[in-house]
Amino acid sequence: MKLVADGLGVDRGGRMVLRGVDFSVAAAEALIVLGPNGAGKSTLLRAIAGLVPLAEGRVELENGDPDAHPGDALHLLGHQDGVKAGLTVRRNLTAARDILGGDGDPDAALARVGLGHAAELPGSVLSAGQRRRLALARLLAAPRPVWLLDEPTAALDVAGQELLAELMAEHRSKGGLIVAATHLELKLDGAKRLALQPIVAEAEDD
């Protein structure tokens, strides 16, 4: 399994925000996407997930399950944690597993991210860091090989960042691959790097 982008370009609102993006990430590898605000990191993850169309180039999951839609092979953990406020923490996970498929154990996932004590609480009472931990638990409850992580350390305390590093290492050791967008350093041993810069509007020719 390999995630490959070749000459990828994306237009948002009539302006190219990504152009000529090339990368290749194989099973057990990771790619860190770096860049300042507005460089197109989130857009790239959404383009990989098929949530925004490509204006140029291609991105494909090679040697994945030929019968599966590429979107079924990935998780996109975005800025929004996707926590349903009216559901309990456990129900948040079981609902996600029902929708996404998979055979992960929700209670084991909650214990792993340090939310075992909160299983019966409504999602609405979780703190920002707990919401992010619940989003990480979703990666465990509905296992998928490709993790697309957008600023995954956001709201996590030091212990939470250690936990994230462990989960990412375990995922790779099981043959998963990771693309993570960040402003900051991430603990991802041997990761490839892709540096994005905002595309400055080109001067118009008269």
Closest distance to ligand ATP from the beta carbon of 186 (Å): 14
Structure tokens that stand for 98 in this block: 């029902």
Looking at residues 21 to 60 of the shown chain, list those that interact with ligand ATP (rule: CB under 6 A).
35, 37-43
Is 180 a residue that touches ligand ATP (CB under 6 A)? no
Paired with 176 in beta bridges are: none
**Secondary element (H or E) of residue 170:** helix 158-173
Phi, psi of 159 (to 5 degrees): -65, -40
Closest distance to ligand ATP from the beta carbon of 184 (Å): 11
User: Is 146:74 a contact under the CB 8 Å cutoff?
Assistant: yes
Closest distance to ligand ATP from the beta carbon of 133 (Å): 21
Residue type for position 137:
A
CA 32 to chain centre: 11
Structure tokens that stand for 150 in this block: 């957008």
Nearer to ligand ATP, 85 or 184 (CB): 184
Q: Which of 1, 9, 12, 154 binds ligand ATP (CB under 6 A)?
A: 12
* Whole-angstrom distance, CA of residue 62 vs CA of residue 77: 22
Q: Which residue is nearest to ligand ATP (CB)?
A: 13
Looking at residues 148 to 167 of the shown chain, list those that interact with ligand ATP (rule: CB under 6 A).
none
Nearer to ligand ATP, 41 or 172 (CB): 41
DSSP 58-73: EEEEETS-TTS-GGGG
* Residues contributing to the site for ligand ATP (CB under 6 A): 12-13, 17, 35, 37-43
